[in-house]
Structure 1
Amino acid sequence: MIRTEQSHAKYELARKYLAGGVASSLRASMKPVPIYVQSAEGARIRDVDGNEYIDYMLAYGPLILGHAHDELTTAIHQAMRKGYTYGLQHEGEIGLARLLTELLPCAEKVALSGSGTEAVMLALRLARAYTGKRKIVRFHGHYHGWSDSIFTSFPGAGLQGNDERAATSVLPGTSGQSAGSLEDVILLPWNDPIALESALRAYSGEIAALISEPVMCNSGCILPKPGYMELMQRLTKELGIVWILDEVITGFRLSIGGAHQRFGLDPDLVTIGKAMGGGIAISAVAGKATIMNLIDEGTVSHLGTLNGNCVSTAAAIATIGELVKDHGSAYTRMERLFTVLASGIRELLNKHGLPGLINQTGPVFHMMFTDEQEVTDFAAFNNRDGAKYTRFAEVMLSEGVLIRPNGLWYISTVHDDKDVQETLHAVDRSLAKLVD
């Protein structure tokens, strides 16, 4: 059993001064209390009560090299000694942009920004300016940041299948959004080729962009059905719609060239962030020069005080440098370890007689308690027992393993076989407690 007295005390103190008690609303969902960190290194994190955890949350995705990575820390420190940000140009901007155009198959030009939300905002703006159209197609269960123009109710399972209301009934993701902020959004079920083609053809004269995650990571780590993304690619090109792949999660996590390299896709634009900076805030939009040139021409304004600052670009260059070593062998290693871990958890679910499954895509997987034999769409994902998984995450914390309460697990380049075996023992004990 872990101690949480200090985290409880700090959380109560934070609530007096910090709105919501946490810096990002999602973090308040941790049970029994939002944990306060003392330090972290490698694959381990230590809290203020003296507990140590194997970390599979990894700051919600960015820490692909783990905590306090030596080479990354050195690169950041060296950059900071020359100044934190200039509001002027520097070599790091050129170096990172060139690197991204060399590594990302679809990238002819790049624009740097600070967060995934900002990158999506810019990509949508570029698409509208390029096409002269307004509407945006997005999908149930996908997350594209929290800006008013794209943040819909999440998970929002209300509309599924080939439902005519999907094109018109779009609920905001939070109170306070402008009543008109989502008027241009067409919300569709994902992995439904009939609904996709029907909507794109019906509204093609109004649709500026289709935005999609290549893998539905936050909602079940669901892969596209065979041929689905290829259909998306063909239809958008045929109908003059800008195809945006949101790779804020999958970029530099599924492969060095992202999911679009791994799956052989050719989007018009991609958004990237999270793993690219190794834990330092940075994001980018990359894509076809014909679209990106709208920034060159001044047709589309791209603003941001800290865009491409020397610390964030140094972090991204160092992170990517680590990932490309030995021809990207880190990806093979991460995928092998996660395959062992996922297989072991499946065996333990059977051992304890608990219905559940794991959807794995390379070095990321989603674990859920469900009676479904497979989860390949958002409707099936919403049949999971979310409350049981939240309880499982709380028990795992007491067993020394930090995981997200929603079921999504990440792995880093510094996790090892010992971490995996310790984790499987913790899963075994935790599932036994759930059965009891």
Structure 2
Amino acid sequence: MEHLPLRRQVARFPVTAWEARLSTVLERSAAFSSRARELTPGGVHSNVRLSAPSIFFERGEGAWLYDADGNDYVDYLLGQGPNFLGHAPARVNDAVAAEARRGSVFGANHVLENEAGELFLDTVGWAERVRFGVTGTESDQAALRLARAATGRNRFVRFAGTYHGWLDNVLMSMVDGKPAPGSAGQLSHSLTEAYVLPFNDAAALEATLAEHDDIAAVIVEPVMFNNGAIPPAEGFLAHVRRLCDAHGVVLIFDEVITGFRVALGGAAERFGVRPDLAVYGKAMAGGWPVSALAGSAALMDRFAEGVVHAGTFNGSVPACAAVIASLKALREDPPYARLEEYGDSLMDAIVEIGRDHGLPLRAQGLPMAFHVSFGDPAPVHDYAGLAGLDLDRYAAFSHTLADHGVWVAARGIWYVSAAHADKEMAATLERFDTAAAQVSA
């Protein structure tokens, strides 16, 4: 169906102005926040949340969040991405609840493992084996260990601005264009395990692989979603594949965000490049904490031949039930065409609203996950280009958006779910427009 012009969408789906129903003070959230700071450092259980407004939510439904004071928010953070089907999808939660009544962790095999594994492998299309875990961080580490075991080499290549978890050997910030530890207490020498290159720079990778013979793996987010939602340049991933083949290096796709989000078969399907190993999470399990490492039989079978990968909750009953229900939902009613249409319209509208209010708003990425910031509208291709944007101004604006009922990440990423539709578009545009008017005044 052809979209109405963006401005007419708002008129077609009128909503009550957010200002008329926003609590004058977030009294219950303030009380919860005060108590939280007495219970846990910074009042949060993940440092990522330190930059978010101190709002406490009671529930989520579809594409909406509801806070403790009765306010609603159109949600584009989606729990940092896992709620690809929307919050609390009944099909997934009902399946998990039904299976959890029969047990959760047995310390042994259970009957859902094979069904989840078969469905996963059939859906991604290219892999021959899968191991389920709990977090993307741990599965990335398993992939790197497997690559070292297979090659007998110790180091790996990564790209500036990509994220592969919070452990010492992968957590990284950039200071004056150079890699630096991302945390106090981090073992700085751990960063010497990696050669850090600019994203989308195949020539730099070619030179590095030619110069060094100690590289076990190249690990890459196929789309650099964690910073800037930067897509791969035309032919970049294919070039990386060829270079890895030429030098006997294991290619690892970190598909924790791209997997099942950018296409049913993830980035490997969307860009037509097959990795040796890939890590999945987030959109795979309808909001439940599940990750997966998948790859060729030749590599993955080393886990049965001396390479240790363990975890009490790996492949638990609820995890497998969530994977089965989520992947069946995505296969039976693929949301990807709807997401393309919705996300493209939303990005266009954000830029248009910014123009109307004299704000240099820009949007870049894919329709199902994109980055919003202030700055030059020209696309950025790597972390250095991203650093040239006014990211601090946008981080402050994200709090204004929360004040007006649009929940987004301070770092600029917007996730679109299968639950976003016309109602959510209308509410978003009205609330975004009001927030933009406020900061432009």
TM bracket (short chain)? over 0.9
Alpha-carbon displacement from aligned partner over 1:123-153 (angstroms, at most 9, x marks no partner): 0000000000001111110000111121112
Task: String of CA shifts for 1:57-109, please: whole Å, max 9, x gaps.
Answer: 10000001111111111101101111121111112111111112212133110
Contact kept in structure 2, 1:138 and 1:210, CA below 8 Å: yes
Q: String of CA shifts for 1:205-239, please: whole Å, max 9, x gaps.
A: 10000000000112111111111111100000110
- 2:409 maps to 1:408: no
The question of whether the paired residues in 2 share the 8 Å contact of 1:140 and 1:157 is answered with no
Q: What 5-or-longer segments of structure 2 have no aligned partner?
A: 1-21
Note if 1:280 corresponds to 2:300: no
| Residue 297 (structure 2) aligns with | 289
Confirm whether residue 263 of structure 1 aligns to residue 264 of structure 2: no
Q: Decide whether the 8 Å contact of 2:56 with 2:68 is kept in 1.
A: yes
Match of 1:58 in 2: 78
- Does 1:44 pair with 2:54? no
SS in 2 for 1:324: helix
Amino acid at match of 2:66: R
Q: Which residue of 1 aligns with 2:242?
A: 234
The yes-or-no answer on 1:374 pairing with 2:379 is yes
Tell whether 2:315 aligns with 1:308: yes
**Separation in 2, partners of 1:180, 1:374:** 34
Kept after mapping to 2: 8 A contact 1:170/1:185: no
Shift of 1:11: 1.4
**1:163 equivalent in structure 2:** none
Q: TM-score, normalised by structure 1?
A: 0.94
Are residue 158 (structure 1) and residue 180 (structure 2) matched? Answer: no
Corresponding residue for 2:192? 183
Matches within 5 A, 1:239-254: 239-254=247-262
- The 1-side partners of 2:175 and 2:271 are apart by 27
How many correspondences in the alignment?
419
Amino acid across the alignment from 2:323: A
Within 5 A, what are the aligned runs for 1:114-129? 114-129=134-149
Matching residue of 1:90: 110
Tell me which of 425, 428, 431 is aligned to 2:436: 431
Is residue 2:354 matched to residue 1:349? yes
Is the contact made by 1:157 and 1:379 (CA closer than 8 Å) also made in structure 2?
no
Amino acid at match of 1:134: N
- Corresponding residue of 1:142: 162
Equivalent position amino acid for 2:184 in 1: S
SS in 1 for 2:190: coil
Alpha-carbon separation, structure 2, partners of 1:378 and 1:105: 31
Of 324, 328, 335 in structure 1, the residue corresponding to residue 331 of structure 2 is: 324
What does residue 166 of structure 1 align with? none
Distance in structure 2 (CA, Å) of the matches to 1:331 and 1:242: 30
Measured in 2, the distance between the counterparts of 1:410 and 1:318 equals: 21
**TM-superposed deviation, 1:412:** 1.2
The equivalent of 1:165 in structure 2 is none
- CA distance in 1 between partners of 2:158 and 2:380 (Å): 20
Distance 2:206 2:122 in 1: 33
Provide the C-alpha distance between the structure 2 equivalents of 1:149 and 1:136, rounded to a whole number of angstroms. 10
- Residue identity over aligned pairs, in percent, reads 40
Q: Which runs of 5+ in 1 are unaligned?
A: 160-168
Question: How far is the alpha carbon of 1:384 from its aligned partner?
Answer: 1.4
Please show how residues 213-232 of structure 1 align to structure 2 within 5 Å.
Answer: 213-232=221-240
Cα distance change of structure 1 residues 178 and 188 upon mapping to structure 2, 3 Å threshold: same
Residue type matched to 1:434 in 2? V
Amino acid at match of 1:209: A
Say which of 168, 179, 183 aligns to 1:174: 183
Q: Which aligned pairs between 1:24-39 and structure 2 lie closer than 5 A?
A: 24-31=46-53, 33=54, 35-39=55-59
Residue type of the alignment partner of 2:250: V
Report how far residue 28 of structure 1 moved.
Answer: 1.4
Residue aligning to 1:417: 422
RMSD between aligned residues: 1.3
Structure 2 counterpart SS, 1:180: helix
Q: Give the whole-Å Cα distance in 2 for the aligned partners of 1:354 and 1:373.
A: 15
Q: Is 2:100–2:318's contact at 8 Å kept on the other side of the alignment?
A: yes
Shift, 1:170, TM fit: 3.5
Structure 1 stretches of at least 4 aligned residues deviating more than 6 Å after TM superposition: none
Output the TM-score relative to the length of structure 2.
0.93
What is the CA-CA distance between 1:372 and the residue it aligns to? 4.7
* CA displacement at 1:377 relative to structure 2: 1.9
Query: What CA distance in whole angstroms lies between the structure 1 residues aligned with 2:328 and 2:383?
Result: 36
In structure 2, the residue matched to 1:101 is: 121
1:157 positional shift: 5.3
Amino acid at match of 1:336: E
Supply the distance in 2 between the matched residues of 1:141 and 1:111 (Cα, whole angstroms): 27
Question: What is the alpha-carbon distance in structure 2 between the residues aligned to residue 362 and residue 258 of structure 1?
Answer: 14
CA contact (8 A) 1:106 1:268 kept: no
Rounded Cα–Cα distance in structure 2 between residues aligned with 1:148 and 1:93: 31
